[in-house]
Amino acid sequence: MRLEDSLKITAVLLAFSCVGWNYPAARKNGQGNELYKRGDYEGALKKYTEATTESPGTPELYYNIGDALYNLSKFKEASELFNKVAPAGDQALRSRSLYNMGNARYRIWKPGEDTSALKEAAEAYVKSLEANPRDRDAKYNLEYVLKQIKQQEKKQEQQQKDQKNKEQEKKEQEKKRQEKKEQKDQKEKEEQKEEKKEEKKEQENRQQKQEQPQQQQSTPQPAKQLNEEEAKNLIENLDRDARDPQHFLETQMPPAPKKVDKDW
């Protein structure tokens, strides 16, 4: 993949730029390049770092250190180092430093995160092209990262939309659940109300049943109906008694005292 192309020519580029360095720094840098070519990035990093003690402030050495850090997957440290090297070197070193900084910023980004690291990578590629407009690798990487940014923003937009839909669906489900609960509570209240009515009705019925025998006992019995002959005999008897003075006296006067024979 072209995101790695600049790292493949790093050692060769700096091998020709050692002219003018002091011998100890150039020697350690050369040793570091040999280790770098063999893939021993830890050893190369150590030699490049030792070379800076012999020639501090040499931007090419820090560029090499950045390359070694990049291959050790220490992308954040490499990115920061390339960013510091870019202003200190010549036009060619500036272009390569910014290009590698774009690569490092791209590697920092992880799918699912925001696109800030990708945008920083794109910005680094743009500055690299300003220093070297003919760098095809920088153009390719810039187009690739811009495409990634567009895809990620579209994906994030869809995720936000999906999240919003989920939240809306959750609210609707909660609303339905609440309505169902309210309906259930209302039904229970109505059932309780009906139960109370039934209990009250049963209580009234029991009370009526308890009062009914008392009413039957206290209610006077209707008079016996007489037929015509019985009524006629009753009237005749009444008239006869009324016409008989002796009967009237017997009925009005108290009984006479009984005579007692005295033996004294």
State the sign of the Cα–Cα–Cα–Cα dihedral 114, 116, 119, 125.
negative
Q: Residue 201 in 3-state DSSP?
A: helix
What does the pLDDT read at residue 22? 85
**Which has the closest alpha carbon to 12: 27, 33, 35, 28?**
33
Report the distance separating Cα 126 and Cα 152, nearest Å: 20
| CB 124, CB 99: distance < 8 Å | yes
Residues 6 or more apart in contact with residue 115 via CB below 8 angstroms: 109, 148, 149, 152, 153, 156
Report the pLDDT value the prediction gives residue 13, as an integer from 0 to 100: 43
- Asked: is 2-157 a CATH 3.20.20.70 domain? The reply is no
What does the DSSP assignment read for 119-174?
HHHHHHHHHHHHH-TT-HHHHHHHHHHHHHHHHHHHHHHHHHHHHHHHHHHHHHHH
Residues 45 and 65: their CA atoms lie apart, in Å, by: 6
**CA–CA distance, 128 with 30 (Å, rounded to integer):** 26
Q: Specify whether the CB–CB gap between 141 and 102 falls below 8 A.
A: yes
What residue ranges do the domains of the chain occupy? 2-157
Separation of alpha carbons 185 and 236, rounded Å: 81
pLDDT tens digit string along 111-122? 888 999 999 999
Q: Tell how far CA 214 is from the center of its chain.
A: 70
User: What gap in Å lies between CA 54 and CA 34, rounded to an integer?
Assistant: 19
DSSP 3: G
pLDDT tens per residue across span 50-94: 999 999 889 999 999 999 999 999 999 999 999 999 998 789 999
22, containing H or E segment: none
Q: Which two tokens stand for residue 231?
A: 């009524």
pLDDT at 247: 54
Which residues of the chain have a pLDDT value below 70? 1-20, 213-226, 238-264
